[in-house]
Chains A and B, each alone.
Chain A
């Protein structure tokens, strides 16, 4: 797949809609008692939300391969943003690490299944988004031709 720079920017722009949601869901999964509001580690709700946040990729990007790459981008960047939030007390403030051993592995261990679920949900959401776009366009065209 060849991607031009403007197409890449377009994928990034569409991904930006879903990055905060992925970051929040991942962070909330690690600290459900501190985050607010919380999904309380409910995997089904996380999956349904991830389907919802995959929809912009499918809606705005017509090609399925680009939509899936866009899902990959926002899952990756969302995960990085969640890691930044997880490290906030130690990066932005001078606090000592609470769980010094295996600092990143601790985070990865707890979120690896979740991130796969989010990616799966994102792909399903992208397909649903494309179907919605096609449906909307079909209806738009029908209404256009039915005008007196």
Chain B
């Protein structure tokens, strides 16, 4: 009896086996497509169009800010777990501490930030530096640079912006604790940054 004949003779068992095979093949294809989409999201989600600004206010304070776009062309939403922005000024030439911290913003997972699929979200943060000591140190730096032949103002000083963002793709599980399974968390984790004109 040939292969087909044997299958026909035991048609019920054959049908059960074939159905199971089809179900698992479907699950495998679905999972592979999910995998491709996750990899696609990992490569597609980027920061861009960062704009830094600094304004001198009428009361002598400094308003400093940043605006960064997060583009999510993937088909998964992105749950933002943390956003941090740090601004400083490199004053190492003046002696003393090398960096003058000006502003810090940190948003954790409790903020429930979410970027929808196929969407672009603009993250915009600003801070007002009004401490006389800090303004004075910035002016010292400006005066020092002027002596070196570089003219800065409060608005054009070379502030160092460091913007970091982490998030989770879709609603895939990402709470694995065992060291051999941490790659699963990394698989669905997005970590993007912007610093000194460079996107990472």
Contact = CB atoms under 8 A, between A and B. Distances in A.
Interface of A: 6, 9-10, 13, 16-21, 23-24, 27-28, 31-37, 41, 53, 56, 59-60, 81-82, 85-86, 88-89, 92-93, 95-96, 98-99, 110
Contacts of A56: 13, 17
Contact of B10 (A18, A28, A60, A110): A60
Nearest to B186: A98
Contact of A31 (B2, B17, B27, B187): B187
Contact of A37 (B21, B27, B35, B183): B27
B36 A24 contact: no
Interface string B105-117: 0000000000000
A20 B31 contact: no
Contact of A35 (B20, B31, B176): B31
Given A85-B35, A88-B35, A17 B183 contact: no
Nearest to A90: B39
Nearest to B22: A20
B32 A59 contact: no
B154 interface: no
- Most chain A CB atoms below 10 A, which of B13, B18, B32: B32
**Nearest 7 pairs between A and B by C-beta?**
A35-B31, A20-B25, A17-B17, A89-B39, A20-B24, A33-B173, A21-B24
Given A95-B39, A95-B40, A28 B21 contact: no
Given A24-B25, A35-B27, A92-B36, 16 more contacts: A6-B3, A18-B21, A19-B21, A27-B31, A27-B32, A28-B31, A32-B184, A34-B31, A34-B38, A36-B30, A41-B181, A82-B28, A85-B28, A86-B35, A98-B42, A110-B180
B18 to A, nearest CB: 7
Given A33-B172, A89-B35, A96-B43, A24 B27 contact: yes
Given A21-B21, A89-B39, A36 B27 contact: yes
A19 B25 CA distance: 9
Contacts of B38: 34
B43 A34 contact: no
Given A21-B20, A96-B43, A98-B42, A60 B6 contact: yes
B130 to A, nearest CB: 46
B183 A99 contact: yes
Given A33-B173, A88-B35, A24 B28 contact: yes
Given A56-B13, A98-B42, A31 B24 contact: no
A85 B183 contact: no
A146 to B, nearest CB: 21
B39 A98 contact: yes
Contacts of A81: 28
Contacts of B21: 16-21
A110 B184 CA distance: 12
A36 B36 contact: no
Nearest to B181: A41
A146 B7 CA distance: 26
B62 to A, nearest CB: 42
B188 interface: yes
